[in-house]
Each structure stands twice: as structure tokens, then as C-alpha cells.
């Protein structure tokens, strides 16, 4: 079933939902623990689950296998799909394998070029995520399509204005909804939705939430995604790190994520997409404290 339709049904009932993002393990021996985490999070009754896709198409098979298994287990699934460096035949083949496995939704991403290579963005069939959206909508019209959105601009975008135009273009190309990159200021989400409305786009935008686990990983993530952070929150994390190490940072990050979710739901967000980090107890606690899953 297309996830966009499920989101519309939830919106009609005015019921916020939770969805989950997993990353497939790289090693086969890690699979049992991975699926234990997945099953523990079934208690959240997620509207859908997504599975990440490596940069430049790395570990594509892991994504396909994990997404197919989650579909077999009864979850509504969405596979991430990057198009950088890909030719239409490979994308069409991957889409066919997904549909054969009962996976009817993708998150269409441009992706990053392979590391340690000189990359020409003008070459190749797919230059932008919007190109992938149009291809999928034409070749697999029954497939649900989501795209990424950035409350703060993508690191390569020169301005908020252009970044919002690019996001609108992806949705106008045929995507059903958007999932945001991580961010730490609810006002950025509100501004993003307002800007899309000004472009004539009313598709749902699902905020993606990331709970900080350590000061080091936090700094690494910020360097990769370009998200901005309120100074007060940064100082709180820094103080927690000095006083109590990563355990204190996790507590500070959790409290912030819970408050951020409450703010986003108050702003009208239709649901929350949790970057699970493949950590069941973290997500269950967030759900309990925000009321997203009464049975968690």
C-alpha cells in the first residue's frame, strides 16, 4: 500500500503517527540482533518503516534483503534509493525486485558520489532526486514515493530560498510526501512547511527526529548534514559531556528530542519519523514520553 494514502487516512482522523528508520547491518552475523530490535519496536505500531541505502549504492543488496524481510513480517516498508551514478536499467531492476518482494514505497534520493573519486555532476542520467521521482512515477506509477526535505538548507545549497525551491520541485515531480533530514529547531520545520505552501505544495512533511547519543557522534553528524543547532542546546550538551560523559549527553539529547516532538505535533506535524539508530529502548522511551504510542 502506498504510504501517502496511509498518511492521508491518519490526517483525516487527526491521529499523529510514528514511523521508523533502520539501517541494515553490514555483516550477516548481526542480523539476528537487528531483527530483535525490529520486533521490539513493533510495539510502537509504526505507520511505516524505512531502510537506508549506502552512499553511491553501496550495500544495495542489504537494503533489498532487509526491506523485503520487513515486508514479509507485515510492516509497511519503504526502501531508500539513491540515483547518483546509476543508469535507468539498474534503477528499473531494483524497483522490480522491490515490487516482487512486496515493497511498494521508496524514498527517492540523489545520494552522494562515491568517495575518493572525481565526480562530474553533469554526467549520468540522473542529476537530481527530482529526475528519479519522474522516472519512478513514469515506470512504476503504482509505487509510493517520498523525498527528503531540509529544514536547514542542504550543505550544497546556496540559500534557504533555492533549497525550498528544490524541495518543492521534487514534490511537484510526483512525490507523495517528504521526510526531513534531522534538525533541532521546530521553527525551521514550520518555516519549511510555510514555504512549500507558498509554492503551491500541500504534500505532508514528516519531521525526522534524531536523539543525540554522544558528543563525538553529534559533532560528526552535524558536519555531514549541515543542520544548525540552537546555541542553548549546544551548550547544554557540552556541559553534560564535561560533567557526566556520554551517559549525560544521552539524557540531555533524549529530553530535547521529547520536547522537540511535542513542539512539532503542536505545530501540526502529521507524525514523527524516528531515526532509530537500531536502538529499541531509546525509541520506546521517546514514544512513552511523547504519547506517540500508548502501549510502548
Which CATH number do you get for residue 125? 3.20.20.220
In this structure, is residue 296 part of a structural domain? no
Greater confidence, 266 or 114?
A: 266
The pLDDT tens digits for 53-92 are 754 444 566 789 999 999 999 999 999 999 888 899 999 9
Task: Say whether pLDDT at 177 is over 80.
Answer: yes
**Distance between CA 21 and CA 47 in Å, rounded?**
11
pLDDT at 26: 82
**How far is CA 296 from each of CA 41, 138, 212, 261, 281, rounded to the nearest angstrom?**
8, 40, 21, 16, 10
Q: Has residue 62 been placed in a domain?
A: yes
pLDDT at 186 over 80: yes
Q: Are 139 and 96 in contact (CB under 8 A)?
A: no
Is residue 70 included in any domain, yes or no?
A: yes
On whether the CB atoms of residues 213 and 246 are closer than 8 A, the answer is yes
**Are the C-beta atoms of residues 260 and 186 closer than 8 Å to each other?**
yes
* pLDDT of amino acid 296: 44
* Lookup: cell for 173: 515531480
Confidence of residue 239 (pLDDT cuts 50, 70, 90): very high
Has residue 76 been placed in a domain? yes
Residue 42 pLDDT exceeds 50: yes
User: For the residues 178-184, what does the mean pLDDT come to?
Assistant: 95
Greatest mean pLDDT among 17-31, 49-63, 176-190: 176-190
Domain membership of residue 183 (yes or no) is yes
- 296 versus 85: which is more confidently predicted? 85
Give the domain extent around 251: 3-290
Residue 268: inside a domain: yes
Domain count, the chain: 1
Query: Exposed, middle or buried by CB within 10 Å (0-12, 13-18, 19+), for 217?
Result: middle
Instruction: Tell me what pLDDT residue 58 has.
Output: 47
Residue length of the chain: 296
Kindly state whether residue 295 falls inside one of the protein's structural domains. Answer: no
Which positions are annotated as active-site residues? Answer: 21
* 220 located within any domain: yes
| Whether the model pTM is above 0.85 | yes
Q: Is the pLDDT of residue 235 over 90?
A: yes
Amino acid at each position: 500500500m502506498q504510504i501517502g494514502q496511509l498518511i492521508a487516512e491518519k490526517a483525516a482522523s487527526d491521529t499523529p503517527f510514528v514511523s521508523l528508520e533502520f539501517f541494515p547491518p553490514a555483516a550477516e552475523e548481526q542480523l539476528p540482533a537487528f531483527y530483535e530490535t525490529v520486533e521490539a519496536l513493533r510495539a510502537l505500531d509504526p505507520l511505516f518503516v524505512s531502510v537506508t541505502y549506502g552512499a553511491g549504492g553501496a550495500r544495495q543488496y542489504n537494503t533489498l534483503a532487509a526491506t523485503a524481510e520487513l515486508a514479509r513480517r507485515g510492516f509497511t516498508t519503504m526502501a531508500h534509493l539513491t540515483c547518483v551514478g546509476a543508469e535507468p536499467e539498474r534503477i528499473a531492476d531494483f524497483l522490480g525486485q522491490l515490487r516482487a518482494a512486496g515493497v511498494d514505497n521508496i524514498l527517492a534520493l540523489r545520494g552522494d558520489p562515491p568517495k575518493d573519486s572525481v565526480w562530474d555532476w553533469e554526467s549520468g542520467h540522473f542529476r537530481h532526486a527530482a529526475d528519479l521521482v519522474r522516472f519512478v512515477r513514469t515506470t512504476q506509477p503504482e509505487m509510493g514515493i517520498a523525498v527528503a526535505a531540509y529544514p536547514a538548507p542542504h550543505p550544497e545549497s546556496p540559500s534557504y530560498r533555492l533549497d525550498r525551491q528544490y524541495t518543492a520541485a521534487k514534490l511537484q515531480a510526483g512525490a507523495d510526501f517528504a521526510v526531513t533530514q534531522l534538525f533541532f529547531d521546530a521553527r525551521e520545520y514550520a518555516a519549511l512547511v510555510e514555504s512549500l505552501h507558498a509554492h503551491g505544495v500541500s504534500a505532508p512533511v514528516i519531521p525526522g527526529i534524531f536523539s543525540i547519543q554522544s558528543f563525538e557522534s553529534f559533532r560528526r553528524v552535524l558536519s555531514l548534514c549541515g543542520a544548525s543547532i540552537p546555541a542553548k542546546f549546544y551548550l547544554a550538551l557540552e556541559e553534560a559531556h564535561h560533567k557526566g560523559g556520554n551517559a549525560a549527553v544521552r539524557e540531555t539529547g533524549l529530553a530535547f528530542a521529547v520536547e522537540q516532538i511535542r513542539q512539532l505535533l503542536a505545530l501540526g506535524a502529521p507524525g514523527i519519523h524516528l531515526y532509530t539508530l537500531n536502538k529499541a529502548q531509546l525509541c520506546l522511551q521517546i514514544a512513552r514520553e511523547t504519547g506517540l504510542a500508548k502501549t510502548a
